[in-house]
Amino acid sequence: MHWTAFVHTHRPLDVAGPRRDGAIVLAAAGRLALLHADGTVTPYAPAYRSPGGEEPYIALAPNGCFGRDTVYALRLGPGKGVVRVAASGRTRVLARLSARGLADGIAFDRTGTFGHRLLVTVNAGSGSTVDAIDCHGRVTAITAHAPRIEGGIVVAPHGFGRFAGDLIAPDERGGRIYAITPRGRTILIGISGLPHGPDIGVESAGFVPRGAVSALLADRLTPGNRHPGDDVVLRIRPAALRDAGVRAGDLLVASEGGARTDAVRCHASGCVIRHVADGPAVAHGEGHIAFIAGR
């Protein structure tokens, strides 16, 4: 199974969603757009500009006081934190982050195990802080002692074995896949078996939903990198996922270098990790793995 080019776009960084209308929010070149199942890309939030930093990943709010389908983005420059992006593109600060280091992971808790809050990771050196933010901007540290994690973090849905409701976070440097519990404990789910190291190892994650869906991953042009990227959004079609034995509830994790992809399936008795897909050798995967309906 292979990732193939879906749409070409300038410096794609992250994908989030789908929204109620089925579209995926695409962060690219410091702007936002909507990516539709037929491959069309339309402008969104026209006044938005990236709030600073190289990798301001995004998350899309579910139902609740965060405002359904509202986009939240990391602010990596001075005043580090999270901003809320209105449909017009106007932003306001949701929360400031005091943990030392680089904010580089963002995900909503859709299971309720973290109180339906927004989760953000901040790494510094060999460790990371995990913060939970409520819709009023109150920040609570889940742990200040997680291992170094970054990229497309995601909360596991019900049915993911003993790790259901935990925050799932990749470690690109060591190739590990971790679960962080609502009490702040870190548990090793397993080792990806993919090449690992800075700008190489597992970076992106997403849980496969029910239905016929395509997986999407941003592949950003990164000149001078060992994996320089293609400036495309990559796709795996539903039939290919099905033929590879990937099913609803599985976790997909993709490497930053080459978009090499594992599927992780967990039951009460344990987890199985297997290699299921590769991307173009030059691919430079970023952000989350999102899923869009259609063939």
Q: What is the pLDDT of residues 132-176, one digit of tens each?
A: 999 999 999 999 999 999 889 999 999 999 999 999 999 988 899
SS3 61: coil
Instruction: Give the pair of three-digit tokens for residue 132.
Output: 């939970």
What's the pLDDT at 286?
94
How far is the C-alpha of 268 from the C-alpha of 60, rounded, in Å? 30
Q: What is the pLDDT of residues 197-242, one digit of tens each?
A: 777 789 999 999 999 899 999 999 888 778 888 999 999 999 999 9
CATH match of 4-293 with 2.120.10.30: yes
| Res. 54 pLDDT band, cuts 50 70 90 | low
pTM, two decimal places: 0.95
* Adjacent-strand bridge partners of 285: 219
**Cα dihedral value 117, 138, 106, 211, nearest 10:** 20
The DSSP secondary-structure symbol of 278 reads: B
Q: What is the pLDDT of residues 235-280, one digit of tens each?
A: 999 999 999 999 999 999 999 999 999 999 999 889 999 999 999 9
The DSSP secondary-structure symbol of 228 reads: -
- State yes or no: pLDDT of 51 exceeds 80: no
**Neighbour order of strands in the sheet with 176-180:** 154-155, 167-171, 176-180, 186-191
Instruction: Give the pair of three-digit tokens for residue 48.
Output: 């938005």
- State yes or no: pLDDT of 53 exceeds 70: no
What's the pLDDT at 221?
84
Q: Which residue has the tokens 């580089």?
A: 104
How far, in whole angstroms, is CA 204 from its chain's centroid?
5
Contact criterion met (CB below 8 Å) for 165 and 171: no
Which candidate, 54, 23, 71, places its Cα nearest to that of 284?
Answer: 54
Q: So where are the chain's domains? A: 4-293
